[in-house]
Structure 1
């Protein structure tokens, strides 16, 4: 094949990928519907048959013969079901779903090993009977098929256009940039009004002198300024209308129905519950609720984790449910719905065993997260909330599969990074519900702008409970810290500048005898705090700008925005503010302890890129890092020097990570040093090898997140 033909084929295959995803989803959903139905629905059977037939033809067109061959066998099974001569059983659905999974693999890697595909095709040929060649020509029933129903679902080819996500994102970003232009116009109008005020003052002064010519000049200037301001005001209104329309249209492009996220969940639940030997009735609602695609993408992993936890730990097995007089078929529901304030609510509920408050409290005390005295004073909801704390786990090996404890911490972190909050309710023996609230869009949000010690900051309006002014008579002492009464409720009080460790002023610039501004905020988990600020500038539409990967973990800051004056204002992360403020008690003196020696880390990694990345992450987090380029060098360093923890790759020349771990474990007095394996090997067999070697944690690079690594290390140290 010449280069031009090869390039054209690659372009065709890119288009084929999109089409193939739609056909595979149709087959997957159709199989789930058929499996749940006592009598196969004709429309569903027709849809899966057509999807298999169309996918086969498209695969032939892009020279993916292995895909086409497997589709042909699947098409034959569906053909027999259409005719009514074949009735599928439970094992048959397992075979077909496994074949769909194999199709997805072949489409991603058309030149890969097809032994499994050939075995599956043979099983399907045996199921339908006869040779696959018998159905290679178009079937008579295809010509007699009824025309498409007029009630087409939303999102069909007739009313949608495929657009690359990069182009859509670019369109939205350009529209969002106009917010800064709009704010700048507001600022120019304010400056014009100030200039006009100066001219008014000059007129009054000149009126006392006999300088008619100058007065005429100033009157003329005044007239021009007034005209300019009027023109700017009209331009600003026009720009605002344009911006609103452009943003609305751009947002509509990236607003996708939640069903685009949910469509893969039924099969995942079916496969997982089947592997666990549990019967689960999984229901979803709210698939037509439209959400920013960036939020949908960000919520996929947290929801998968919550569903896996519900199936693995929440829902009982068959015998346990029967013994508890429960329906052997467990219930798991996932719903999307609109709520007040332009938000969406996601609720995941199961009717499983529920959470045991006493057991959670006991684990938390054993893990050192809280003391026994603290447990006694905690409400049930506060105890249940401990499962979101990093380190809440009794697992000896930390993996990416079950994600116990640490995974729940990351779930909350991911939700909060999207501007949302997560809470839970549970009743022992009856089930658990997780409730997630999120904004509909990440494009813009309303923010309260405050000034503190000469700097501007933004607090998300959705997390602001109250903005007010209070006098010194409202401030009192409560449990060793300052507190303030606002509308009959007492909130702990802190100075925003002090919490942020701002340099320069460092003191309270409010007159204690006068009222001063206070902003009451809530983290979304029931914890609220009041922050005294220098001034509340106002509320406005905020365009959030990310800080980039290098600054993703800057304390207190989730991003920044450009104000109309051109100044950059950080957008504050309310949860971090409350946590830091809660740790400080202004009236309690503390003794400065000498700094401890930094934790020493041995980093073993043969890739210079990965080694540099990991070393920078660890050094920036306060660790003292020494590196080795392979397992042998790493073990020599480990034998000569003292380290608090070892972080190692697995695939390395000479001595690999598994061998290094075993060597460390057999080193006598040093054999108890924690070992974290960071690798691209993610199979169950590789994880088991990590356990057998003695690793304390196993993190897969494909889903690598620096927060996960640092949290794991803190837990092990």
Structure 2
């Protein structure tokens, strides 16, 4: 073979890999459909489609001289032909062999050196199907498992088994799936099927290497910087024009005075000195006249230039935006390109685990940036594996729980807010056992025993995304190492996305991933902190707030601010970034500027010096050696050419939480050295009411600690010392009545006074409060802080 022929064969095989991958996906999809309960007509159509795909794949493999793949496809085609003509029966064993054939072709295609003997074993199984002689009276009889395992030797024309014809050898009138004159389709059994709607021809396409598209997109993205520079130039011209306009206006103002001066000089006396002075002054006046006329002319020319520059900017804006959007669309792929392989993956996993699962896919047509799709593929695999391994129970266990034997996993993709995509992976399994998660986290040292006692439900669920936290007792190839979800969250964070989890014990779990549609340009808010300019993605900015300084309150040793009725933690952006630069914000001002940033369901207010503007920015990675810088997502170039950092909202939220935790610890340490005050435990699930009660009591000199419900309160009571409990009644996990009763039944706590402050005002509720041992019962409708303080003073 000559050099040119070798080069041609290499190119052809490269194209063949792409074609083969698509045909294998089509075959796999058809085989997965055949596992469902279908009508005979539908089943016949699918078998015909799979048969044709196998035949086409065989021909393509022959064209590029890939003989092993051709041989496997030929045997697969023969087995499918026997199935099509009713010589063998469709069964799970048969489908397993077909799936194995697809896997073998994929292995020969992409990993030819892996398991070299696998193809030979498979061929024996497929050839044994071709050599089966037993045909039942109904026309469907499968080979026995022993026949398949023994592997009959292939025969050229086995007795009693008609030779299988390839598609082009079957006469047109006998070809299943071909339309007859009536417009119906002749099926496997020879009966007419319902007319099949003709598929419209697809639009003309051309294959382009994705690397070329990536390179082209990168170059187009650079035009965004040119667009911003053009905008900056136009703004500079506008400023310059404003200066010239001022020049012209000032010149116009002095014109009347100059005319009067000229007239005065013309009528004055005629001494020589006066005459010379007049000549000089006349020259000055002539220059001023010329200067004004020139400025007027320059202004006219400049106005024209400004109009031209603005028109050019608008044209460039439109072309760059259109070109960028078209390139984004060119690199947008439907989720089906990833999800279409999942049914087989779930099938393989469940058969290995001895489970039965139906996988439902919704929103496969939703399109997203190819780069995001490539990155999210592995996280989705981790989530699906977790559903199979941790979520879905085995059939017998599901029946005991009065559930269907077959579990259900749903992957739903929906487009939200126009610029984001939500992926929800849901199962109807056992749900997440929070106690086991906490136990695993403590065992791995992720949290301490003390933290485990006070941790909330959402914080507990967030632990599943921590590295090495796994509730699986046995490490398998599927799971058990505690890395899958940690890797998934890391990938999602890298894509500027977020993950959240919801679970219901016994009913299942849902993990939601929120991602941007594209990774290219985004809207950003320009801010100033500690004298430096930063950019923040607009999508993560919940609100921009200007509030009074006296609205800042300290709650549980952390700064907070009340926004729209919500108490939100407050930190300084410069503190989070560790900047010591001069604060440009006027400390004497009664107002401060805040950005409410939201990520993964958490909202924190960040104080900044100045909020400049919102504009389109192009996020660029920092590159080596700054591949990962805390709190920094990358950088962008302004129209002026200045490079500014783009902040990572996920990191900012985490850093802010850490700062608040340290501040809280330092404050507690400082308070230990102060004289002891009366200690009150406030138990309230509403953070607003909790903050109100805490502020009232602290302003009156009490030392206050808060709890979010009865269990949290009882834990605090067992580990701390308190002089009184102020509690709400309606709370999750343990209400105020039960908490009071538990306190009274505890020998160490039975003496502790309890004041119930609640919205329940009925006589029955009051009597129940007295029965369980409350010392006071205050209705919120008639609540007054002086009444509360007076009641407490009487009790202690």
Question: TM-score band, normalised by the shorter chain?
Answer: 0.7 to 0.9
Counterpart Cα distance in 1 of 2:620 and 2:155: 56
Counterpart Cα distance in 1 of 2:203 and 2:621: 37
Q: Provide Cα deviations, 1:463-500, integer angstroms capped at 9, x if missing partner.
A: 10111222322223232233233333332222212221
* Residues 212 and 132 of structure 1, relative CA distance in 2, 3 Å threshold: farther
Is 1:179–2:256 an aligned residue pair? no
Q: Provide Cα deviations, 1:434-456, integer angstroms capped at 9, x if missing partner.
A: 11111111122221111223322
Could you say which residue in structure 2 is the equivalent of 1:547?
A: 622
Q: Secondary structure at the match of 1:287?
A: coil
Cα contact 1:256–1:290 (8 A) shared by 2: yes
- How far is 1:510 from its partner? 3.0
Could you say which residue in structure 2 is the equivalent of 1:146?
A: 178
- How far is 1:10 from its partner? 1.0
Counterpart Cα distance in 1 of 2:462 and 2:398: 26
Give the TM-score of the pair, scaled to structure 2.
Answer: 0.70
Could you say which residue in structure 2 is the equivalent of 1:466?
A: 543
Is 1:296–2:398 an aligned residue pair? no
- How far is 1:417 from its partner? 1.2
Could you say which residue in structure 1 is the equivalent of 2:34?
A: 34
Q: Which has the larger radius of gyration?
A: 2
129-138 vs 471-480, which moves further: 129-138
Q: Provide Cα deviations, 1:412-464, integer angstroms capped at 9, x if missing partner.
A: 12112112111111111111111111111112222111122332211111110
Q: Secondary structure at the match of 1:551?
A: coil
Could you say which residue in structure 2 is the equivalent of 1:2?
A: 2
Instruction: Mark the runs of 5 or more structure 1 residues left unpaired by the alignment.
Output: 592-717
Residue from 71, 84, 95 that aligns with 1:69: 71
Counterpart Cα distance in 1 of 2:39 and 2:378: 35
- How far is 1:569 from its partner? 1.8
* Residues 499 and 480 of structure 1, relative CA distance in 2, 3 Å threshold: same
- How far is 1:159 from its partner? 4.0
41-50 vs 259-268, which moves further: 41-50
Give the TM-score of the pair, scaled to structure 1.
Answer: 0.77
Q: Provide Cα deviations, 1:642-682, integer angstroms capped at 9, x if missing partner.
A: xxxxxxxxxxxxxxxxxxxxxxxxxxxxxxxxxxxxxxxxx
Could you say which residue in structure 2 is the equivalent of 1:222?
A: 299
Cα contact 1:72–1:132 (8 A) shared by 2: no
Aligned length: 587
Cα contact 1:495–1:508 (8 A) shared by 2: no
Cα contact 2:501–2:510 (8 A) shared by 1: yes
* Residues 84 and 368 of structure 1, relative CA distance in 2, 3 Å threshold: same
Could you say which residue in structure 2 is the equivalent of 1:597?
A: none
- How far is 1:380 from its partner? 2.1
* Residues 510 and 398 of structure 1, relative CA distance in 2, 3 Å threshold: farther
Alignment of 1:99-248 (within 5 A): 99-110=101-112, 114-129=116-131, 131=154, 133=156, 134-135=163-164, 138=167, 140-141=169-170, 143=172, 144=175, 145-146=177-178, 151-152=198-199, 158-206=203-251, 207-208=253-254, 210=285, 211-248=288-325
Q: Secondary structure at the match of 2:622?
A: coil
Counterpart Cα distance in 2 of 1:109 and 1:361: 42
Counterpart Cα distance in 1 of 2:72 and 2:577: 61
- How far is 1:399 from its partner? 8.2
Q: Secondary structure at the match of 2:49?
A: helix
Alignment of 1:505-516 (within 5 A): 505-507=581-583, 509-516=585-592
Is 1:497–2:574 an aligned residue pair? yes
Counterpart Cα distance in 2 of 1:533 and 1:400: 48
Cα contact 1:66–1:114 (8 A) shared by 2: no
Cα contact 1:497–1:506 (8 A) shared by 2: no
Counterpart Cα distance in 2 of 1:399 and 1:113: 22
Q: Secondary structure at the match of 1:458?
A: strand
* Residues 340 and 576 of structure 1, relative CA distance in 2, 3 Å threshold: same
Cα contact 2:391–2:508 (8 A) shared by 1: yes
- How far is 1:567 from its partner? 1.1
Could you say which residue in structure 2 is the equivalent of 1:652?
A: none
- How far is 1:101 from its partner? 0.5
Counterpart Cα distance in 1 of 2:641 and 2:92: 64
Counterpart Cα distance in 2 of 1:440 and 1:194: 37
Q: Secondary structure at the match of 1:584?
A: helix
Alignment of 1:696-715 (within 5 A): none
Counterpart Cα distance in 2 of 1:584 and 1:71: 62
Q: Secondary structure at the match of 2:625?
A: helix
Could you say which residue in structure 2 is the equivalent of 1:665?
A: none
Counterpart Cα distance in 2 of 1:18 and 1:2: 25
Counterpart Cα distance in 1 of 2:385 and 2:653: 31
Could you say which residue in structure 1 is the equivalent of 2:358?
A: 281
Cα contact 1:425–1:432 (8 A) shared by 2: yes
Alignment of 1:430-469 (within 5 A): 430-469=507-546
* Residues 512 and 483 of structure 1, relative CA distance in 2, 3 Å threshold: farther
Could you say which residue in structure 2 is the equivalent of 1:579?
A: 654
Q: Secondary structure at the match of 1:385?
A: helix
Is 1:521–2:597 an aligned residue pair? yes
Counterpart Cα distance in 2 of 1:427 and 1:141: 57
Of structures 1 and 2, the one scoring higher in RCO (CA 8 A, sep 6+) is 1
Alignment of 1:91-102 (within 5 A): 91-102=93-104
Cα contact 1:556–1:574 (8 A) shared by 2: yes
Instruction: Mark the runs of 5 or more structure 2 residues left unpaired by the alignment.
Output: 133-153, 157-162, 180-184, 186-195, 259-284, 668-796
- How far is 1:109 from its partner? 4.4
Counterpart Cα distance in 2 of 1:319 and 1:399: 22
Residue from 80, 83, 88 that aligns with 1:81: 83
* Residues 82 and 396 of structure 1, relative CA distance in 2, 3 Å threshold: closer
Counterpart Cα distance in 2 of 1:400 and 1:244: 47
Cα contact 1:498–1:506 (8 A) shared by 2: no
Counterpart Cα distance in 2 of 1:520 and 1:453: 18
Counterpart Cα distance in 2 of 1:491 and 1:284: 38
Cα contact 1:28–1:97 (8 A) shared by 2: yes
* Residues 551 and 142 of structure 1, relative CA distance in 2, 3 Å threshold: farther
- How far is 1:330 from its partner? 0.8
Counterpart Cα distance in 1 of 2:315 and 2:169: 61
Alignment of 1:232-271 (within 5 A): 232-271=309-348
Q: Provide Cα deviations, 1:57-109, integer angstroms capped at 9, x if missing partner.
A: 11111111111001000000111122122222111111111111011111124
Q: Once superposed, what is the RMSD of the aligned Cα atoms?
A: 2.6
Cα contact 1:547–1:560 (8 A) shared by 2: yes
Counterpart Cα distance in 1 of 2:497 and 2:85: 50
Counterpart Cα distance in 2 of 1:132 and 1:70: 16
- How far is 1:549 from its partner? 4.8
Q: Secondary structure at the match of 2:65?
A: coil
* Residues 219 and 18 of structure 1, relative CA distance in 2, 3 Å threshold: same
Q: Secondary structure at the match of 2:35?
A: helix
Is 1:426–2:503 an aligned residue pair? yes
Cα contact 1:73–1:132 (8 A) shared by 2: no
Residue from 545, 561, 566 that aligns with 2:641: 566
Q: Secondary structure at the match of 1:477?
A: strand
Alignment of 1:481-496 (within 5 A): 481-496=558-573
* Residues 322 and 76 of structure 1, relative CA distance in 2, 3 Å threshold: same
